[in-house]
Structure 1
Amino acid sequence: MTDTRGRIHPRFVSIGANRIPAASDWDINSGFIAYGAGNVIALWRIDETEKSSSGVFATLKGHTDKVSAVRFLDGTPDSSSILLSGGVDKVLRVWKLVKPFTASDIPRYELLVQSPPHDGSIVDIAVERVGSKHSNGSSEDTEKKENGTIIASASADGSIKIWRLDASKEEEKVLTHLQTLTTKPKYFPLSIALAKLSSANKKDGVEAGERTEADVWVLAISGSSNSIQIFVGSTFEDKSDFALSATLTGHENWIRSLSFVREASTDDLLLATGSQDRYIRLWRVHRGTALPAQSAGSKMMIMGQALSNKAHRFSAGSGKQDYSITFEALLVGHEDWVYSASFRKDTTDGKIKLLTASADNSLSIWEADETSGIWVCTARMGEASGMKGSSTATGSTGGFWTGLWSPYGNNVVSFGKNGGWRRWNTSGEGEWVQKGAVAGHIRDVMGVSWEKEGKYLLSTSLDQSTRLYARWKSSKHRPFYEFSRPQIHGYDINSIVSISPTKFVSGADEKLMRVFGEPRGIAKMLEDLCGIQQADIDSLPDVASQPVLGLSNKAVNTAPEENGEGEENDQDAEGHAYPPFEDSLSRHTLWPEEEKLYGHGYEISTIGCSNAGDVIATACKASSISHAVIRMFETKTWRQLKPALEAHSLTVNRIAFSRDDTYMLSVGRDRQWTVFERVTEGLEEFGAPYKPMQVMAKAQTRVIFDGKWVPLEAGRAFVTAARDKTVKVWELQGKDWGCTETVKFEEPITAIDILDRVIDLDEGRFVVLAVGLESGAWSVYKAKVKEGGGIEGWGQWVEVDGYIAPAKAITQIAWKPSGEDKTFEVAISSEDSSVRIYEIQT
């Protein structure tokens, strides 16, 4: 029976955004930001009052491939939060918030319904509610809700499907397919936008905004073409009749973003189109046969060039109302592709603003001048593109891939190619100040490692970066933040281990290990913002830099001003120090490389470090005995301790040292484990300090992924976990190690870790084991320590809710050392690109 007294809480989730402009949105109802992160949807909450913690609080699992489109449904009748998502798996999913945020628990979304699959990946979603309060601030006949919501989903196969969503109906009727459109000539759609056309006005005898026989919609579609196609149609109970009504030309390259807004003074629709030609064009959709006043002429002069202002006319609705679309303005200012354009209308004064994001590393806010009506750039965030290099080594962010407005318009956010977000806040007086945001890996996280005393956490990933997380002491809730990006590399990094408070070793696909030392600037920042003290801080190098096309971080001891890399912490306008923002993390927080360790012939698979920190053991991917060796290095001079240890015939997956370093355990793909025994007290002699003690061939029936030692208070024992869905306990019986217990699971076990101390509970003293599975699920087990030594009676202690667990296989689990008696923290890395920290309370 599960002991339910262990309570688990997610304290930190780090996960980067997919580099897809359509895969993020900000909810006007809940205030949450949702963004695609691999196969999951990350939910991020910003709390500027600091009454509760901010950051990513959950990831929604359901998509079987990368999430490529995310949209919230604004203005739902009951103000509930409904989320739409689409992915490379071709399926449209609808999620609903069923449990709001509380002080003791996190919000919970559940899958409401999913669509039949498209024939290609879903690339964008557009939504519009009948009788809703629009995200742009306008409102229309809010009492009319019976027709639900119209949804358009665009697919990579060149088709756009029209749906009706009514969350109040039974499951099979929640989502109704109305029509499928095909782009002609066929092109790859990149963006779609949907809006309700202006209805009949009062002089026609119908109230403005009132629905007559059927709702009339305008759908804009753009993509791998230099034109925008306008479809117009009505929606009925079970069908729609959208048809191509106009084709807007003028752009000179692919068009990546579309956005509609309704102008309060004229009831006209404005359409913004952002293109790879670096320009944003504005178009006006006007009702009536007469053209808008500013479009009466046939030509417009901008920047000395004559731009065509042809009126595109069409009729819509059962009454065949006349409409026109005319070119309104050309916005010039970006120096590279425009990825995103998003309108916002103020709910108080109806003022319209446009937010654009570009590959030139900038966000721009545009407004129409009150006197002349000319659109001008009123604010610009980010960097001038010429200030940055073109490679990761020199800190290029790769542009901003999206731009999102907060519900109240006082915040904007965007993310770059590293998957990290940046946020700016304004007090309403025109000045935008950068604030803290979230970041994370964008590919599989292969390993995590706590500093020896648990002061900070390191992670590494196939995205070729290593990251450092610590608690920010100045915040009320002491949340974890990313404080440093010590290694930005040119190879996928597979393993990492901390060997001292100021050093770590990582291993990558390049077949060698690299040793990194903490620079003085990072040490001072961690002391100022996290309260982490370093005894030898004055002996550390100032900063590190990485040359263009280089892989080695070089120590730099010149003055920061001369080097262009200051040590000052990021600050807001009031001078409050913050953890580093994304631009600083990617450029100014490298650690200098101290040593390279050679010897292996293939990609590094694992690195282990003795508890004393005096020796490390390493292994590489192998298919033969000669390459499946374990190489050892002492950590003072970094010389290799020969001979290499031969015991396995295939890749060694994990190396672990007993708590007193007397024994070393290795487990591998050959289904065997090996226990090595220490043969010298020190490393004065030139030779490997361990020799094989016992080899257990076929210890388990499938590949063994992990093995860890129990605390010494519980006796001499270790635990192994394998693909055969079992965890086995091995105890020292005389001179040999034997299996004393087997725990079975329903799926393969990919990672385990054992708490470094025995805990006291009402029932006795226990060893605690965390078990991670191939699906991303994980749980905590405990076993009672027997009076005369040894352990028995393994049983589940804490069952982890799947809602807060990773979505893919867990690659490593690490209990935080030196924790409190009643509270324990555990870090988990996963193939879903996340790093998570959980807190367990007894």
Structure 2
Amino acid sequence: MTDSHGRIHPRFISIGANRIPAASDWDVNSQSIAYGAGNVIALWRVDETETSPSGVFATLKGHTDKVSTVRFVDDTHDSSSVLLSGGVDKVLRVWKLAQPFDTLDIPRYELLAQSPLHDGSIVDIAVEKKGSRHGTTSSEGVERRGKGTIIASASADGSVKIWRLQLSAEGGEVLTHLQTLATKPKYFPLSIALAKLSSPTTKEEDGGVGEEEVWVLAVSGSSNSIQIFVGSTTDSKSDFTPAATLTGHENWIRSLSFVREANSEDLLLATGSQDRYIRLWRVHRGSTLPAQSAGSKMMIMGQALSNKAHRFSAGSSKEEYSITFEALLVGHEDWVYTVSFRKDTSDGKIKLLSASADNSLSIWEADETSGIWVCTARMGEASGMKGSSTATGSTGGFWTGLWSPDGKNVVSFGKNGGWRRWNNSGEGEWEQKGAVAGHIRDVMGVTWEKEGNYLLSTSLDQSTRLYARWKSSKHRSFYEFSRPQIHGYDINSIVSISPTKFVSGADEKLMRVFGEPRGIAKMLEEMCGIQQVDMESLPDVASQPVLGLSNKAVNTTAEEDGEEEKEQGVEGQVYPPFEDSLSRHTLWPEEEKLYGHGYEISTIGCSNAGDVIATACKASSVSHAVIRMFETKTWRQLKPALEAHSLTVNRIAFSRDDAYMLSVGRDRQWTVFGRVTEGLEEFEAPYKVMQVVAKAQTRVIFDGKWVPVEAGRLFVTAARDKTVKVWELQGQEWGCTETVKFEEPITAIDILDRVVESGGGRFVVLAVGLESGVWSVYKAKVKESGGIEAWEKWTAVDGYIVPDKTITQIAWRPTAEGTSFEVAISSEDGSVRIYDVQI
């Protein structure tokens, strides 16, 4: 996986799923999962192979607002992977895999086409799935694919559009609009499902295949009924008309799924509702009703349920059909978000997967003897854990349920955006396996542990996450191992101060200091090879009180709290923690709160020695734009607060030897503070103002970093004015020695912490992140007399692998030697990315 220059490739991508049931799908052809993640589509390789690691390998950029639905097309003219997506930006997009999965490079999807704007957000896309299609000969399948694929898209304006997707080697129009349907009475569609009816008009004539295709379309949403449309399609038009309205549910209907019974022309339709029930309906061909529907009433749980037959005709031959109520599935205790049929290709056996806000996935099958549908497997938590539709809900339930193409895996995600996966080895037991997780809002900062052993990130989703290499992975891949802080405020900044401590700052105006618990330290030692010398002095575990924001240290005993200690232990643990454990059992205890600022924390800096931290808050006046310093042994504030800026300080950086501290801000100025080592009173701030340059750049300065001391006393600043400036100590003051211009604002930079030897020269390495998410690497040759020569671009980063939105922070991993480096990048697109950089 390399870029066009062969020097940079993505090592790790972490990004959470949009909490929208329709925004994910599992591809039959590529065996990967696509899910909406903010404005991008994340592509997840579920299983690790000899040549490729598991995890998110790419994000598709193109949507300008949140992605709300994705669907793979099962059958294409060349069996390649084709993806459909829709979102709040009202556009339906078609993507195709251009570079196959069996190469060492990154599988690439290209945007083939996009539809004209809908009048509202696209909320669901329906494509006929293999499990719902009636049997065809191979020649029929080729002919049908040659004519294209019928798809439907539902919009928040209450309309459903019918399209023909044409993928051919000759090119031409990819997406053709055939018809627009309206829901009556108008409601908000939440789900649509599409299947082909077995119509006598689809028959062989003169050795060919008939032109007419007859379809059934089900639409449901913010209504307690399902609308059924029936219509035929040709190459250029369709004639869907309302055929029936199915009633019985008592609340909104959130999900629909069709499947065709084996050795039968009957279709089954599953409907999942917020009334906690799943209903099954039978679409039957012929004027006679199916045997189980002979009566007009059914008795279930002592209640009489209507079994009215809804009759309609379809196709040019007006073939008669009926829809009857088949079964009521009872078992979930909260909203049913999704239902999904799967038919086994070997024996035709049908299973139904349902996902619910009661934190469970259920698998339903019809009993072979009685025909009654029963729950045969249940994954997730006990029903006592309340879900998303309750006021006390905290875990949020399961928002979707997906089958793997072979039926051996099921996946789902919860309100934290993290996925969970279960595997069935064939013996009937479903065992939880590793999956992916990530932030679900803007990631505001990343920081490496002082020695580079692990990475911390923090986000506006009010959580902090820890990533490290899993030594048992074939590719030494990064995984999320801990969620140290789950907070009630948006977290804006984070900095590591030692191997076992970090400080974060949020919108609550104070900083919190966290220490690593012993359970996490043991896990990181066992699974990642990260050793802590003072492990026995660490607290056992952390817990968060109900309605509290502070993670309390808990020193457990085997007798009193053996259960909780066992939950955080690693004895016998094979995989990194799963999502349910991450969100409950990997907190770090809070050690201190640091007060003093009057507004939301904007940035935190830490000396390289880890003895002091410097903090700033959002400010519109001199009195609040101060920098406050704290020493890290007793956490006393060091006085006085440092006054230099008049507006918010955006970044604080220390030189490698801690002799200087740099601050940059919205007031377009930078300030250099010098360290005082003698004559200080107790708890006096050790840094004093040395130089202030007002209007150092013409727009807000976002970032500033020091060059390694071996190259001289220099630092670099980056601003919204689309320039990077180099400042060098000339006598007693710093002066600008170079200005590098860019095409857009620079929002984040970082400089490698050592000088690199390459090609007979010594170089300083700079990573530059832009407002659009693009980033690149620059180098400057170190002069023999001191200082650096002009910056030049070392390598650009392929646009396919960069974030979709503004880069908020860049952090090179601390390293001592070698020519292979890693850099972590956080972005407003909700992602944390780690790249390998070969120099």
The TM-score normalised by the length of structure 1 is 0.96
Q: Distance in 2 between matches of 1:215 and 1:272?
A: 23
Candidates 679, 687, 690, aligned match of 1:690: 687
Candidates 785, 788, 792, aligned match of 1:791: 788
Candidates 395, 399, 402, aligned match of 2:400: 402
Q: Distance in 1 between matches of 2:181 and 2:569?
A: 49
1:366 corresponds in structure 2 to 364
Task: Give the AA of the match of 1:770.
Answer: A
Q: Distance in 2 between matches of 1:592 and 1:453?
A: 22
Task: Give the AA of the match of 2:632.
Answer: T
> CA 1:86/1:607 → structure 2, altered by over 3 Å: closer, same or farther?
same
> CA 1:530/1:317 → structure 2, altered by over 3 Å: closer, same or farther?
same
Candidates 693, 705, 709, aligned match of 1:708: 705
The alpha-carbon deviation at position 81 of structure 1 amounts to 0.3
Q: Distance in 2 between matches of 1:393 and 1:769?
A: 49
Equivalent residues in 2 for 1:91-106 (5 A)? 91-106=91-106
The alpha-carbon deviation at position 173 of structure 1 amounts to 1.4
> CA 1:662/1:681 → structure 2, altered by over 3 Å: closer, same or farther?
farther
8 Å contact from structure 2 (residues 334, 389) kept in 1: no
8 Å contact from structure 1 (residues 213, 318) kept in 2: no
- Secondary structure of the structure 1 residue equivalent to 2:461: coil
- Secondary structure of the structure 2 residue equivalent to 1:349: coil
> CA 1:567/1:769 → structure 2, altered by over 3 Å: closer, same or farther?
farther
2:157 maps to 1:157: yes
2:618 maps to 1:615: no
Q: Distance in 2 between matches of 1:69 and 1:608?
A: 40
Q: Distance in 2 between matches of 1:80 and 1:169?
A: 12
The alpha-carbon deviation at position 104 of structure 1 amounts to 2.5
Q: How many residue pairs end up in the alignment?
A: 832
Candidates 723, 727, 745, aligned match of 1:726: 723
Q: Distance in 2 between matches of 1:108 and 1:569?
A: 39
The alpha-carbon deviation at position 4 of structure 1 amounts to 8.4
- Secondary structure of the structure 2 residue equivalent to 1:738: strand
Deviations along 1:47-104, one digit per CA (max 9) or x if unpaired, are 2555531000000000000000000000223110000000000000000000012453
1:657 corresponds in structure 2 to 654
Candidates 292, 295, 315, aligned match of 2:293: 295
1:310 corresponds in structure 2 to 308
Q: Distance in 1 between matches of 2:326 and 2:94?
A: 36
1:602 corresponds in structure 2 to 599
Task: Give the AA of the match of 1:545.
Answer: S
Q: Distance in 2 between matches of 1:482 and 1:394?
A: 27
1:185 corresponds in structure 2 to 185
Q: Distance in 1 between matches of 2:40 and 2:285?
A: 42
2:802 maps to 1:805: yes
Q: Distance in 2 between matches of 1:391 and 1:184?
A: 27
Task: Give the AA of the match of 2:685.
Answer: A
The alpha-carbon deviation at position 168 of structure 1 amounts to 1.5
2:242 corresponds in structure 1 to 244
> CA 1:135/1:512 → structure 2, altered by over 3 Å: closer, same or farther?
farther
> CA 1:713/1:461 → structure 2, altered by over 3 Å: closer, same or farther?
same
The alpha-carbon deviation at position 294 of structure 1 amounts to 1.3
Candidates 657, 660, 668, aligned match of 1:671: 668
Deviations along 1:352-407, one digit per CA (max 9) or x if unpaired, are 00000000000000011111111110100001131469899999321000000001
8 Å contact from structure 2 (residues 77, 168) kept in 1: no
The alpha-carbon deviation at position 559 of structure 1 amounts to 3.0
- Secondary structure of the structure 1 residue equivalent to 2:744: coil
> CA 1:681/1:26 → structure 2, altered by over 3 Å: closer, same or farther?
farther
2:470 corresponds in structure 1 to 472
> CA 1:454/1:478 → structure 2, altered by over 3 Å: closer, same or farther?
same
2:84 corresponds in structure 1 to 84
- Secondary structure of the structure 2 residue equivalent to 1:146: helix
The alpha-carbon deviation at position 46 of structure 1 amounts to 1.3
- Secondary structure of the structure 2 residue equivalent to 1:286: strand
Equivalent residues in 2 for 1:166-565 (5 A)? 166-168=166-168, 173-200=173-200, 212-387=210-385, 396-559=394-557, 562-563=560-561, 564-565=563-564
Q: Distance in 1 between matches of 2:565 and 2:123?
A: 41
Task: Give the AA of the match of 1:245.
Answer: A
Deviations along 1:564-611, one digit per CA (max 9) or x if unpaired, are 423467999xx6611000000000000000000000000000000000
- Secondary structure of the structure 1 residue equivalent to 2:620: coil
The alpha-carbon deviation at position 657 of structure 1 amounts to 0.2
> CA 1:278/1:820 → structure 2, altered by over 3 Å: closer, same or farther?
farther
- Secondary structure of the structure 2 residue equivalent to 1:534: coil
8 Å contact from structure 1 (residues 570, 579) kept in 2: no
Q: Distance in 2 between matches of 1:394 and 1:514?
A: 26
8 Å contact from structure 2 (residues 131, 260) kept in 1: no
2:829 maps to 1:840: no
- Secondary structure of the structure 1 residue equivalent to 2:384: helix
8 Å contact from structure 1 (residues 569, 579) kept in 2: no
Q: Distance in 2 between matches of 1:82 and 1:137?
A: 22
8 Å contact from structure 1 (residues 741, 792) kept in 2: no
The TM-score normalised by the length of structure 2 is 0.96
2:138 maps to 1:142: no
Q: Distance in 2 between matches of 1:395 and 1:615?
A: 40
Structure 1: stretches of 5+ with no match in the other structure: none
Task: Give the AA of the match of 2:85.
Answer: S
- Secondary structure of the structure 2 residue equivalent to 1:746: coil
The alpha-carbon deviation at position 540 of structure 1 amounts to 0.5
Q: Distance in 1 between matches of 2:619 and 2:408?
A: 55
8 Å contact from structure 2 (residues 599, 617) kept in 1: yes
The alpha-carbon deviation at position 167 of structure 1 amounts to 1.7
Deviations along 1:448-478, one digit per CA (max 9) or x if unpaired, are 0000000000000000000000000111111
- Secondary structure of the structure 2 residue equivalent to 1:565: helix
Q: Distance in 1 between matches of 2:324 and 2:368?
A: 21
2:12 corresponds in structure 1 to 12
Deviations along 1:417-438, one digit per CA (max 9) or x if unpaired, are 0000000001112100000000
Q: Distance in 2 between matches of 1:200 and 1:138?
A: 14
Q: Distance in 2 between matches of 1:280 and 1:64?
A: 35
1:111 corresponds in structure 2 to 111
8 Å contact from structure 1 (residues 570, 578) kept in 2: no
The alpha-carbon deviation at position 554 of structure 1 amounts to 0.3
8 Å contact from structure 2 (residues 519, 569) kept in 1: no
> CA 1:440/1:612 → structure 2, altered by over 3 Å: closer, same or farther?
same
Task: Give the AA of the match of 2:33.
Answer: I
> CA 1:41/1:634 → structure 2, altered by over 3 Å: closer, same or farther?
same
Task: Give the AA of the match of 1:725.
Answer: K
Q: Distance in 2 between matches of 1:74 and 1:90?
A: 24
8 Å contact from structure 2 (residues 52, 104) kept in 1: no
Task: Give the AA of the match of 2:141.
Answer: T
Tell which deviates more after alignment, 581-590 or 97-106.
97-106
Structure 2: stretches of 5+ with no match in the other structure: none
- Secondary structure of the structure 1 residue equivalent to 2:142: coil
8 Å contact from structure 1 (residues 82, 94) kept in 2: yes
8 Å contact from structure 1 (residues 521, 567) kept in 2: no
Q: Distance in 2 between matches of 1:604 and 1:35?
A: 33
1:717 corresponds in structure 2 to 714
The alpha-carbon deviation at position 408 of structure 1 amounts to 0.3
Tell which deviates more after alignment, 101-110 or 220-229.
101-110
Q: Distance in 2 between matches of 1:729 and 1:385?
A: 60
The alpha-carbon deviation at position 267 of structure 1 amounts to 1.7
- Secondary structure of the structure 1 residue equivalent to 2:789: strand
2:627 corresponds in structure 1 to 630
Deviations along 1:128-147, one digit per CA (max 9) or x if unpaired, are 38xxx457896563122232
Task: Give the AA of the match of 2:125.
Answer: I
8 Å contact from structure 1 (residues 138, 345) kept in 2: no
> CA 1:139/1:347 → structure 2, altered by over 3 Å: closer, same or farther?
farther
Q: Distance in 2 between matches of 1:346 and 1:756?
A: 56
8 Å contact from structure 1 (residues 137, 344) kept in 2: no
Q: Distance in 2 between matches of 1:560 and 1:196?
A: 61
1:23 corresponds in structure 2 to 23
Give the RMSD, CA atoms, in angstroms.
Answer: 2.2
